């Protein structure tokens, strides 16, 4: 039982992130994932075109 008491006490001492910070971070992550996805897709298509051009 001491573990649970200590855990609960520790949780009360935690400084939680505000909801506005969570939203801002979420949008940054979504934007970066979409940007990298787009970049990888463009590079993939360029390389595909070049390989087809070279290999016939």
Domain boundaries, the chain: 17-55
Q: Over the range 29-56, which residues count as b (16 or more CB within 10 Å of their CB) and which as e?
A: eeeeeeeeeeeeeeeeeeeeeeeeeeee
pTM flag (> 0.85): no
Per the structure block, which two tokens stand in for 44? 């993939």
Measured between alpha carbons, how far is 12 from 17 in angstroms, rounded to an integer?
13
pLDDT score, position 51: 97
Q: What is the mean pLDDT of each run of 10 residues along the chain (56 residues)?
A: 94 94 98 99 99 94
């Amino acid at each position: 039982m001491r573990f649970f008491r200590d855990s609960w006490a520790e949780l009360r001492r935690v400084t939680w992130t505000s909801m506005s910070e969570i939203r801002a971070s979420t949008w940054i992550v979504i934007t970066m994932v979409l940007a990298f996805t787009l970049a990888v897709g463009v590079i993939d298509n360029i390389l595909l075109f070049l390989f087809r051009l070279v290999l016939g």
